[in-house]
Structure 1
């Protein structure tokens, strides 16, 4: 990475406290990137799911999954991603946080093939349109585009990620159909 040591003062203090400075330095030197490598770009472009972590101006956090058809996260360059924000519950917790505090963390996990994860941290902005981005959902349910300027990217090792399977996955993206939105698990008085 650049001349400045990656990470926060808090993580550096804990590295010293727990005696992991050498391991951390090795990780910073070998695994952290200021942009997406070609392999990382392919990995992101093939995902159907990622987790988006944001915080508001006071540091209150939100972490929510984002799902879409393969290719819904557009790799516009090694340092820029964009994805369509589909209609949801109307709360806009993540997007509201981005409006107050642009820092965002996207975690892409592949439980189905490679069992690896990829962390992408950067600054997010909202756009009505990004001409070079494509929404492969085939719907008109996109509310806004989210663009992320990549500041760092690193791989999460596979040793603790289980291999899972998908029987089928073809959801009605951005639907308003109440029956399609509910499973019954968290519905009703037992919530």
Structure 2
């Protein structure tokens, strides 16, 4: 006769020292700072570099970015990272505590939006690879807003960002942390003219099956 399996108890979590409480960041990073002896360096960084809003320099930086990396996770913590790009201003600063970026018709999977609908925590990473070789992290909570709804609040939103397409909806990120990503290992890149296939559903021409997954799937069926 099989014995019922004993319930799995969560691991004990050591208490944080008083000096590590009420700091930005996660409990896990604070515990590891204690374990690895980096508390003083971390506290200097929190004090000197971490804001709960965007300052004027950050707002200017966001406004000239042409790309961003977006990290999300679902309710179970399964992660997804995606890439968003557009002309300067596609990351639209609504105010010093809100950034909005557009969502267009895509492959229909809606991975990032699906995660946000379950778990609003989102991380943005913007990097200037060309001029200043510096990055900006923005962490916060996001919501999904229809284009018409956001445009009613902000009539000055651009009507289009690329090739006549207008956003179907927007992700509005409410800033909780904003801090620098240092330039030490950021490579310098040189912009070149882009030749892309627009207005086509041909997977090969637009790079949709670049890795040959469709062929692999067909071989296994």
Q: How does the TM-score come out when normalised to structure 2?
A: 0.78
Out of 151, 164, 174, the residue aligned to residue 149 of structure 1 is 174
Tell me how large the CA RMSD over aligned residues is.
2.1
State the 4+ residue runs in structure 1 displaced beyond 6 angstroms.
Answer: none
Q: Unpaired segments of 5 or more residues in structure 2? A: 1-20
Out of 185, 201, 207, the residue aligned to residue 182 of structure 1 is 207
Q: Unpaired segments of 5 or more residues in structure 1? A: none
Shift of 1:170: 6.8
Q: How does the TM-score come out when normalised to structure 1?
A: 0.90
Change (3 A) 1:28 1:61: same
For 1:29-178, list aligned pairs within 5 A.
29-129=47-147, 130-131=150-151, 132=154, 133-134=157-158, 135-137=160-162, 139-169=164-194, 171=196, 175-178=199-202
Change (3 A) 1:171 1:139: farther
SS at match of 1:142: coil
SS at match of 2:99: strand
The answer to whether the 8 A contact 1:123-1:148 is kept is yes
| Structure ranking higher in strand proportion | 1
Cα distance in structure 1, aligned partners of 2:192 and 2:74: 37
Cα distance in structure 1, aligned partners of 2:216 and 2:191: 28
